[in-house]
Amino acid sequence: VGSGTAAASGGRHFSEFLPSGASGAADGKLVTGFDGAIAAASVPELKPRQSNGERVRPEDYDQRVEELMELADHENPHTVYIVHAVDGSKTGLRVPSRRCIERVRSKYGERVVLVLDACQARSNAAELKWFLARGAMVLTTSSKFFSAPGFCGAVLLPRDASAALKSIPIERVPAGLADYITKLEVPSSLVGLRKALSHGPANVGLLLRWECGLAEMERFVAMEAAADAVIGAWVKEARALVARIGAEEPTQGNLPMLEVVDDAADGDEARATRLGGVNSIVCFRVRSSDGSRWLDTASLKKAHKWLASDASSLLALSANEGAAVRRIVATRCFVGQPVKLGNYAVLRLAMSAPLACRLAESGASRLAEVLKEDALALRKLRFVVRAAEGL
């Protein structure tokens, strides 16, 4: 999840810059009006990965969630829990499990408030309905899978939450929320909340970004069955492609330069909740040329920058390169930004809704073309990593 998630969950600012343009906010400072119990709230962060980058087993993660809640309940049997579930991290992880959620809801009842982070928007409709039916607030965007411009978020509210915000007294709405939203971003049905917020300014940019996202959402929904099929086909081929190109020119010690990071431990539950039935983010790590280590975030940020640029200037560091290599190196390639996993980082190839729709419309020939583009990006990556190591 985003780096500001923990602060925001505790009613605190997560940046010194506010959407309203107001100054004076401090990262981590309590938002005006969030006081009392909120000020004293504990926000434990449960990392889904170990220090070596390997993911925590789903059953162990669930156990940790339940242990923390039991400990808090022992200290205060009136504790209210906001359980922040994630379906689709930056690498596609899904935690905690539905089984865990059902157990804690059964044990603590109305003291459990569910929030689902589905901001990657790679969850299918059945997953969103499952959470909404259990009173969860669902965070989503159209700027990831649906490829709208960035900063394009929304919250889906279940009936109970909507009813509460419809009748909430003005004095119970934290004044500091006015730095984040105006009444123009709130549905007209939420009368109470709207009364507590300012009339503007109008966030025209947000509306335009959502227009882009909604167009792609509508297109995808109209052909979802066909698009689902090509998502699965692309993921299978892309994973194989990373392995094949990683082994084409191995590092010293005859080790593959690229390796898929497999997070398939979610099992049947995840397959039933994801668009296409798969994790549509293919993560891979990159070895140094001498084969001694996996590249870290700083190294992959440099490589990522070269990928998105004409890297022909690096050819001077590598003699006797042919025309094919020169064409590859000059091509601008766009892949997912590095994500830190323990002491190394990964880059990402990812399916998007616009691409899934184009593939569904065009068939196998277009899939082959997309895979050629992916192969070019991976071969350029291999080149720039080796060339940049000589800088």
pLDDT at 389 over 80: no
227 burial type by CB count under 10 A (0-12 exposed, 13-18 middle, 19+ buried)? buried
pLDDT recorded at residue 146: 97
What is the C-alpha R_g of the chain?
A: 23
Tokens found for residue 32: 């005006």
Angle at CA of residue 27, ends 200 and 192, nearest 5°: 35
In tens, the pLDDT along 101-147 reads 999 999 999 999 999 999 999 999 999 999 999 999 999 999 999 99
Q: What is the mean pLDDT of the chain?
A: 91
- Give mean pLDDT, residues 331-360: 95
pLDDT recorded at residue 317: 54
3-state helix, strand, coil in the chain (%, to 5): 50, 15, 40
pLDDT at 284 over 90: yes
pLDDT at 265 over 90: no
- Unique residue bearing structure tokens 């509460």: 164
Tokens found for residue 1: 């999840």
Q: Kindly state the helix (H) or strand (E) to which residue 106 belongs, with its residue range.
A: helix 98-108
Q: How far apart are CA 203 and CA 206, in angstroms?
A: 6
Q: Which residues pair with 38 in a beta bridge?
A: none
% of the chain surpassing 90 pLDDT: 72
297 contacts 340 by C-beta, under 8 angstroms:
yes
pLDDT recorded at residue 84: 96
Q: Kindly state the helix (H) or strand (E) to which residue 68 belongs, with its residue range.
A: helix 58-75
In tens, the pLDDT along 166-201 reads 999 999 999 999 999 999 999 999 999 999 999 988
pLDDT at 267 over 60: no
- Give mean pLDDT, residues 285-300: 94
In tens, the pLDDT along 6-55 reads 998 889 998 888 888 887 677 788 999 987 777 788 999 999 999 888 89
